[in-house]
Amino acid sequence: MSSNDTKKALSILDAGGVVGIPTETVYGLAAKIDSPEGIDKIFTTKERPDFDPLIVHVESIEQALKCTSSWPLHAELLANAFWPGPLTMVLPKASHISSKITSGLETVGLRCPNHPLTLELIHYSGPLAAPSANRFGKTSPTQKAHVDSEFNGEVFTIDGGACEIGIESTVIGIFEDHIEVYRPGAITPSMIKNITDIDVVVKESPVSPGHLKHHYMPDLPMYLSYEAQPEELKDIHFALIELSSDPNIAARELYQKMREAAQKPNAKAIVLLKKPEQQGELWDGIWNRVKKAITKEFI
Ligand code: TXA
Ligand code: MG
């Protein structure tokens, strides 16, 4: 085993604690799947309601197979194509996966994250349940410093640098004749269709509460606007966010820009400027998060 951070994280996890883990999407708050105490701590640390199920992070397809009671061909194809990577597959759970992890559902979300430090950790710890490492409803962390400030330095977090992707994984449900996308992300419907050649339907799951109306919210009210100077805010001092015209860069920068904007001295609000050309499949994940983070749109 290599780094001291990994060793320290393992000892905390073994003692029923939680640790912050870097992934390519956002940082997670992890506990061992067989530690009821650790799983409870995820919910209390995040102040997360227990109806929101956790994703189980695995290091390989082999490990995923042990967490599910069914591994359809399409899961195999997609895992081969996109793991390690930003794709979470919801599949029937194995009986040992606790209902606390799945919020009572008979399914479990499985993902193999693409980060060497976290893959190394999971190699020794076994599968880790982890939501994003933010307080419930708040902006997801994309750097270790964000996790530290979110939990006042009380959660030991492995520093894996800034997240490459920057928004949470695509979450899908796999059915015999079609696939449902519950949460859009960097793996898009057409990328999934290319691999599986079955119908891919975008459908927010009622049981997937990333889908609550308000989520990902910064500490100041945020507005979405097609103009840099919205008439509605003419008397208010606000911080303006402009995103790159490259959706991969825009996703990587989104949460960091929201955090920076919320800390601008004297700012009472945040305006996120949407340009007409910022549209298409790769933008869907970005606008999905933004729509849940805003108070209102001026469009
Ligand atoms: O990129 C990510 O997915 C990050 C990193 C840490 O892996 N994790 C993350 O976790 O975003 P969280 O808990 O913030 O969001 C997980 C989403 C939630 O919307 C949850 O409802 C959904 O996945 N989910 C998990 N298990 C599910 C299940 N069995 N059925 C339906 N939705 C599920
Ligand atoms: Mg989250």
The DSSP-derived string for 17-70 is --EEE--SSS-EEEEETT-HHHHHHHHHHHT--TTSPPEEE-SSHHHHHTTBS-
In a domain, 113, yes or no: yes
Same domain, 263 and 150: no
List the domain range (segments joined by +) for residue 276: 222-298
Of 166, 181, 196, the position where a domain reaches its end is 166
Are residues 235 and 140 part of one domain? Answer: no
Q: Please indicate, yes or no, whether residues 15 and 158 belong to a single structural domain of this protein.
A: yes
Q: Would you call the peptide bond into 84 cis, given omega within 30 degrees of 0 as the criterion?
A: yes
- Ligand 2: distance of its center to the CA of 215 in Å? 8
Look at residue 263 and tell me if it is in a domain.
Answer: yes
Residue with tokens 């057409």: 190
Q: Residue 175 Cα, ligand 2 centroid: separation in angstroms? A: 24
Among 166, 194, 214, where does a domain finish?
A: 166
Retrieve residue 143's tokens.
């750097």
Best of 33, 51, 111, 132 for a ligand 1 pocket test (most atoms within 8 Å of beta carbon): 132
Mark whether 10 and 153 lie in a shared domain.
yes
Task: Please report whether residue 101 resides in a domain.
Answer: yes
Pair (14, 108) in one structural domain: yes
CA–CA distance, 110 with 97 (Å, rounded to integer): 11
Rg (CA), the chain: 19
Same domain, residue pair 21 and 103: yes
pLDDT number for residue 213: 72
The tokens describing 65, both together, are 């197979």
* Residue ending a domain, choose from 122, 137, 166: 166
Residue 257 lies inside a defined structural domain of this protein? yes
Q: How far apart, in whole angstroms, are the C-alpha atoms of residue 57 and residue 38?
A: 15
Instruction: Count Cβ atoms within 10 A of the Cβ of residue 250 and give its class: 0-12 exposed, 13-18 middle, 19 or more buried.
Output: buried
- Per 3-state DSSP, the chain is made up of helix, strand and coil in percentages (nearest 5) of 35, 20, 45
What does each of the 299 residues of the chain score in pLDDT, given as a tens digit?
Answer: 568 999 999 999 999 999 999 999 999 999 999 999 999 999 999 998 888 999 999 999 999 999 999 999 999 999 999 999 999 999 999 999 999 999 999 999 999 999 999 999 999 999 999 999 999 999 999 999 999 999 999 999 999 999 999 999 999 999 999 999 999 999 999 999 999 999 999 997 666 555 567 889 999 999 999 999 999 999 999 999 999 999 999 999 999 999 999 999 999 999 999 999 999 999 999 999 999 999 999 87
Nearest partner of 218 among 266, 269, 274, 168, judged by Cα: 269
Q: Are residues 162 and 231 in the same domain?
A: no
For residue 172, the ligand closest to its alpha carbon is 1
Q: Are residues 25 and 129 in the same domain?
A: yes
256 and 154 share a domain?
Answer: no
In a domain, 181, yes or no: no
User: Would you say the CB of residue 168 lies under 6 angstroms from ligand 1?
Assistant: yes
Domain harbouring 52, CATH code: 3.90.870.10
- Among candidate residues 139, 117, 152, the one with its CA nearest the CA of residue 30: 117
* Residues 37 and 153 both lie in one domain: yes
Residue with tokens 């059915």: 175
In this prediction, residue 3 carries a pLDDT of 86
Whether 173 is in a domain gets the answer no
Residue 109: inside a domain: yes
Distance from the CA of 24 to the center of ligand 1, in angstroms?
15
Shared domain for 87 and 229, answered yes or no, is: no
What's the predicted TM-score (pTM) here?
A: 0.96
Number of domains comprising the chain: 2
Give me 76's structure tokens. Answer: 């195999």
Same domain, 122 and 47: yes
| 64 found inside a domain | yes
